[in-house]
Amino acid sequence: MVKTLAVIAAVVTVLGLAAWPKLAQYHVDIPDFQRPAKTVLLEQNWSPAQRAAFHHMAQGTRLTRYAWFKALEQPCFTSCGDLADPAYLARFGFIPSDESPDKLPVGFARHDNFHDPISKETYPVVGFTCAACHTGELFFEDSAIRIEGGPAMVDLGAFQKAVGLALGLTQKLPWRYARFEKRVLGEGATDAQKAELKKNVDAFLTVGFKERDYAQEHNIYTNLSGFGRTDALTRIGNQVFAVDLGLFENFQASNASVRFPQIWDAPWLDWVQYNSSIADPLVRNIGEALGVRAMLNPEDLDNSVDLAALNQLETLIAGPAPFQGLNSPKWPAAFPVLDAAKVKQGAALYRQRCQRCHLPPVTELAADREANDPRFWERSSAGMAFLKVTNINMQHIGTDPRAALDFRNRTADSGPLKQGRLTAAQGLDFVTQAIAKRYFEENKVPEATRLAWAGYRKPGAEAVRDHLVYKARPLNGIWAVAPFIHNGSVPSLYLLLSPHEERPAKFWTGSKRYDPVHVGFEYTEAPGAFAYDTSVAGNSNRGHEFADKPRGNGVIGTKLSVEERWALVEYLKSL
């Protein structure tokens, strides 16, 4: 005990902390849920090799240099384990993987020849892939049931804080830095190698601290997302137009977190994102890579984005035609057997109450695609069919408006890009298309290949927009994507079909323990779980309500009886 207090006292002195309570900022509070012993993989039309590629293919993003990531200790003051320990990373929600020779979790990739567009150097890094946010798990009894392409129950904000603290404490504490240096460089490192490492660590942290300090001073990320969500469009804009351009006045406060969406069928929807804002897969995927810290040099548009890898990942998800790539999961055999009578009753209710927005089930949509004059599909000039999603006026659906409003209202100074002041839609379109054009020209990519990588969308067609709408997509696999509404503000499918006053005003996220009856995750208070407060800006759980009130302003239909709700829930499990 005396030794521990002495170490903490030394830390307080070294870090120059003004008061004991400030030690809390050096702590990452995360849950410690126990994983089930067994992993269950569902049939979703992927081979093991395809699944492994999706989980670990590098796409040009950088968290830290690879050697640093493996050498860092967890952000604590005594008895610190490795930051890269899979058991520790699982506490942020990341899924352990037996496919990675580096023991990296699902969604992490080792990139040995990462190109740094600022220094023009090449070195190994660890970065995210889209699987980090789009691979789900449901814990039920003794099984962890994998949902490929489903929303991940991860807390990216807490993980980012942990990485930052791990690096910061390593830089500040001499004994900790000595261990880090030895693990990175090995025995017998020269003074020149040690000096180079110190220079690189200091330079990396100088940039990170500058961004952190500005964000804290201006309350950019004080509205935390918690588990299963992120404010993706705002973060992409902040990364590109504030951090990459070095124009911090372009930062926008993040208060529009959304649930990680399911990605099956996404390549075949005419518009994606909850606000139906992106059509071109190049824009969507390059933007995603930039948002999770692919690097961009604004002076010459040199960048680290691996466009070929992004196309491979897109192809894995899409397949050769609609419903022939990654399939939505079917209700697992491990779950309670569905009630056939309720499913039949729910199917009739779905046609009456839900289908107008969410479209018919996939079997009917697939048949319609083959019709001479399909109702639900639109063909591009290249002859490819795209499903026309239903876009609903933001005020009519009545769900939290922040995601649509923030994207519509945002503007940024383009600075060295020399495009004047741009809206968020214009900025995202310009940067992503410029990156694609640079890659195509440098690599002499044929026009036919360019068209294919753009998803066979009409050349010159609108790629990004900022309409004040939210889209309603088909509901196949909806049972596997809790919590619900675009911002994840309703914890179960049953509550989504219930009047607003029956939905909880506060609940906790982070548990993967699944409730197959109500269809959602356990949401009671637990140590380290995220407290989801629906009164916070961006977190409203209003809208999409069946109630005996005038239609509009969030009311989409008359109140469902308890029996009707259970029937609809049972039917939606069958999709």
Mean pLDDT for each 10-residue chunk of the chain (575 residues)? Answer: 37 36 71 93 97 97 98 87 96 96 96 96 97 98 97 97 95 95 96 97 95 95 96 95 96 97 97 96 96 95 97 96 97 97 98 97 96 91 88 97 97 97 97 96 95 86 95 98 98 97 98 98 97 97 95 95 98 98
How far does Cα 66 stand from its chain's mean position?
A: 22
Residue 391: strand, helix, or coil? strand
CA distance 572 to 49: 30
Question: Which secondary structure element, helix H or strand E, spans residue 447, and what is its range?
Answer: helix 447-453
Tell me which residue has tokens 């003794």.
Answer: 142
Q: Which of 124, 127, 192, 378 is CA-nearest to residue 271? A: 378
Q: Report the pLDDT value the prediction gives residue 1, as an integer from 0 to 100.
A: 40
Q: Report the pLDDT value the prediction gives residue 8, as an integer from 0 to 100.
A: 35
The DSSP letter of residue 375 is: S
Structural tokens at position 75: 């952000």
Q: Which of 281, 311, 286 is CA-nearest to residue 301? A: 286
What length is written for the chain?
575
Q: What angle do CA 367, 372, 377 make, to 5 degrees?
A: 60
Q: What angle do CA 221, 223, 229 make, to 5 degrees?
A: 95
- Show Cβ contacts of residue 255 under 8 Å, excluding neighbours closer than 6 positions: 223, 231, 402, 406, 537, 538
CA distance 488 to 258: 6
Residue 180: strand, helix, or coil? helix
CA distance 410 to 400: 17
Note whether 549 and 555 are within 8 A (CB): yes
State which amino acid sits at residue 152: A
CA distance 293 to 486: 24
Q: Which of 77, 81, 90, 96 is CA-nearest to residue 31? A: 90
Q: Report the pLDDT value the prediction gives residue 91, as an integer from 0 to 100.
A: 97
CA distance 84 to 65: 13
Structural tokens at position 455: 């998803």
Helix residue ranges per DSSP H, 101-258? 156-172, 174-185, 191-217, 232-237
- Show Cβ contacts of residue 247 under 8 Å, excluding neighbours closer than 6 positions: 241, 412, 413, 415
Whole-angstrom CA distances from 369 to 27, 452, 454, 477 are 53, 20, 21, 20
Residues forming a β-bridge with 296: 303
Whole-angstrom CA distances from 490 to 336, 504, 517, 542 are 23, 8, 15, 9
User: For 409, how many CA atoms within 13 A lie in the half-sphere containing its CB?
Assistant: 9
Question: Which secondary structure element, helix H or strand E, spans residue 422, and what is its range?
Answer: strand 421-423
Q: Report the pLDDT value the prediction gives residue 499, as an integer from 0 to 100.
A: 95
Note whether 549 and 450 are within 8 A (CB): no
CB count in 10 Å sphere of residue 564: 17
